[in-house]
Amino acid sequence: MKKNGREEKTFSRRDLIKTTAAGAGAAALGVLGFEDTQAQTRPAKWDKEADVVVIGAGATGLPAAIEAVEVGASVILIDANSDVGGHAILSGGNVALGGGTSRQKKYGVEDSPDRLFADLTDWSVVEPNGFPDYRYNDREIIRAFADNSAPAYEWLLKHGVIFVEKAPDTAGGHATGNSAPRESHAAPMAWPQVETGVPVEGARQTTGSSGIGVIRPLEAAARKLGVQILLQHKMTGLVRERPAAGRVLGITAASQGKVVSIRARKGVIIGTGGHSSNVNFRRIFDPRLTEEYQVAGEPYSYQDASGELAAMAIGASLWGAYNQTGEFGQNVTKAGRIGCQYGYVNLSWQPGSSVFSRARASGLAVRDYQDLILVNRAGVRFYDETQGQYTANNYGSIRPYTQGSYLNAAEVKFSPANFLNAAMAGVGDGSNGGGPIWAIFDADAVKREQWEVASPHVDFAGGYFFSAPTIAELAGSITNKYQARPVPADALAATVSKYNSYVDAGKDADFGKPAPKYKIQTPPFYAAWATPVIHDTRSGLRINAKCQVVDLGGNVIAGLYCGGESAGGFSLHGLARCIVQGRIAAKNAAAES
């Protein structure tokens, strides 16, 4: 089923009863009835085969494919998209590998695998809202990451990744540990950026940071080694000896209207990138994240939970759910660009991009939230617009810091308030989700911000930007597929009038916005989509230290591996865990008999 551009996987109560009756534990989960991704029967004939089959050509899949070939296995790597890279190619290229890398040593940074492990399992570290960054990490998984982190950095250098020449820092990192800086940055070089269609300019090619600086060198390395890369091949299921028992034998994939069966003589590696684009799946972890919340990386790459669903259909367990619901890091972000559907702060889609016809607008970056107010779908303000979002621990976040000391929490100033929670709180009508969220401003704000309120900067045609000569007419003009009911004109007018009185008073009596500066009074008036954006996936399939997938009974599913954002048990944001776990999975899969 497709809804609002996303593929949604569901299973019915009838399916659940039927499968529960069939048997207990993992066997009962083997035929849960997911619509597109189901347990597959062994084909009469395999169309293709290799020692290792890797699903997803991103930050987990490319390292896995390269590593498997280098230890002697043949590899088929598939991806549903028309190009490699997934979310990783659109990322900031920030790579939090530590434990004693050559770059850390060069700049005098003291680190070790043991220090990295202790940091990423430190129960005592909390955020200002009380949420712990590391407390619910799986120790076995973190130990494997810590021991393989520094070698993964050297491996990237060997395979052509060029890092910006500067000391490790904390830029772009989330939940990377408090004891040492570990973030390095992949240079974009001269590769055309997916979001613009052209390379970054001049000096930024070696001083900027971009995920393309990781993906393109690894793609080149994989192709040089003879990895068979099959694009526009969407995995539709895993083939196991029996629906919920025995080893995994291969996969089925859909390509150009045909189903292809691909045998894996040694193992299958899931690197499909997580579940953030699958509305029903992500709401397992947070019911507030209803369909209006868009996802970083869309519309280039969709994290559809296909890997998780396929593995669950043959008995796999989910793991580490807290790290997804925990309010720290960038699992959800404030909209960085308004007036467009895909407003993730670190992406600005430009007309030169191959996917701009789907993105439709680049959006308006907000320099000063004093220039606008934010209202929910009922036309009512809900919080101080200048507030930020969830924070995350990094090097130097807590000073003084002692690993494992209860006193660390004493160094954190408690602050329970947060824009995102207010945005997602709903509007009191019994429904989940607080969106859509609209930015309301006037012609004077456009001048102050120096915005161009026209295509391709804003999306009139798609229903993400509106203009009108009066506030009442503006409310009536807002028609968007996620706006279930019209914005009440009287409510929006009252909201603007009240806010203007706060400007006169110099005080926001409702939400404490610091000295409101500008009235909304000069036509034309504008409404711009400003709904929060989902980013990270930090919970997924249960794996062990070897990246083997584990079922609900705690048993390894032979021949099935997983890493990166499709795997659970690890709160670290970004590329590092994907790269490390892809390599771990490949080494172990290639060693299968």
Strand partners, 333: 533
Task: Find all residues with CB under 8 Å of 452, minimum gap 6, and list them.
Answer: none
Tell me: do 310 and 207 sit in the same domain.
no
> Are 178 and 393 a contacting pair, CB within 8 Å?
yes
Distances (CA, A) of 589 to 195, 306, 562, 592: 34, 20, 10, 5
- β-pairing, 556-562 with 258-270? parallel
Whether residue 106 sits in one domain with residue 67: no
Indicate whether 452 and 495 sit together in one domain.
Answer: yes
Question: How many CB atoms are closer than 10 A to CB 575?
Answer: 28
Residue 41 is classified by DSSP as P
Closest CA to 272 of 3, 541, 554, 557: 541
Same domain, 99 and 173: yes
Task: Kindly report the CATH number assigned to the domain that includes residue 10.
Answer: 3.50.50.60
Instruction: Count Cβ atoms below 10 Å from residue 373 Cβ, excluding itself.
Output: 26
> What is the token pair recorded at 114?
């043991």
Do the domain assignments include residue 41? Answer: yes
Q: CATH number of the domain that 448 lies in?
A: 3.90.700.10
Angle between helix 139-158 and 113-120 (nearest 10): 130
Burial state string for 14-44 with b = 16 or more CB within 10 A and e = fewer than 16: eeeeebeeeeeebbbbbbbbbebbbbbeebe
Give the length of the chain. 593
Judgement on whether residues 6 and 98 belong to the same structural domain of the protein:
no
Cβ proximity of 521 and 500 under 8 Å:
yes
- Helix (H/G/I), strand (E/B), else coil: 19: helix
In a domain, 382, yes or no: yes
Question: 34 with 6, same domain?
Answer: yes
Residue 133 in any domain: the answer is yes
pLDDT of the chain, 593 residues: tens digit per residue: 344 444 434 334 334 323 333 333 333 333 333 455 667 889 999 999 999 999 999 999 999 999 999 999 999 999 999 999 999 999 999 999 999 999 999 999 999 999 999 999 999 999 999 999 999 999 999 999 999 999 999 999 999 999 999 999 999 999 999 999 999 999 999 999 999 999 999 999 999 999 999 999 999 999 999 999 999 999 999 999 998 899 999 999 999 999 999 999 999 999 999 999 999 999 999 999 999 999 999 999 999 999 999 999 999 999 999 999 999 998 999 999 999 999 998 899 999 999 999 999 999 999 999 999 999 999 999 999 999 899 999 999 999 999 999 999 998 999 987 899 999 998 888 889 988 999 999 999 999 999 999 999 999 999 999 999 999 999 999 999 999 899 999 999 999 999 999 999 999 999 999 999 999 999 999 999 999 999 999 999 999 999 999 999 999 999 999 999 999 999 999 999 999 999 999 999 999 98
- Record the tokens describing residue 59, joined without a space: 């930050």
Cα separation, 177 vs 401, in Å, equals 11
User: What is the number of structural domains in the chain?
Assistant: 3
The answer to whether position 428 is within a domain reads no
- Asked whether residue 53 is domain-assigned, the answer is yes
Q: Which two tokens stand for residue 139?
A: 């120790």
* Helix (H), strand (E), coil (C) string for 186-223: ECCCCCCCCCCCCCCCCCHHHHCCCCHHHHHHHHHHHH
Cα separations (Å) of 363 from 94, 125, 343, 457, 464? Answer: 24, 36, 7, 5, 10
The burial of 190, by beta-carbon neighbours within 10 Å (0-12 exposed, 13-18 middle, 19 or more buried), is given as: exposed
Same domain membership, residue 516 and residue 370? yes
How far is Cα 539 from Cα 537, in angstroms, rounded to an integer? Answer: 6
Task: Report DSSP state, residue 124.
Answer: T
Q: Which of 196, 211, 226 is the last residue of a domain?
A: 211
Same domain, 117 and 75: no
Judgement on whether residues 141 and 290 belong to the same structural domain of the protein: no
Domain of residue 508, residue span: 335-387+438-529
What letter would DSSP give residue 480? -
| Position 424 in a domain | no
User: Same structural domain for residues 184 and 237?
Assistant: no
Same domain, 149 and 219: no
CB contact set of 140 (below 8 Å; sequence gap of 6+): 544, 545
Question: Of 211, 226, 243, which closes a domain?
Answer: 211
Residues 230 and 313 in one domain: yes
Which among 310, 314, 252, 251 is positioned nearest to 281, based on CA atoms?
310
In a domain, 79, yes or no: yes
Looking at the domain assignment, is residue 502 inside a domain?
yes
Last residue of a domain, one of 161, 179, 211: 211
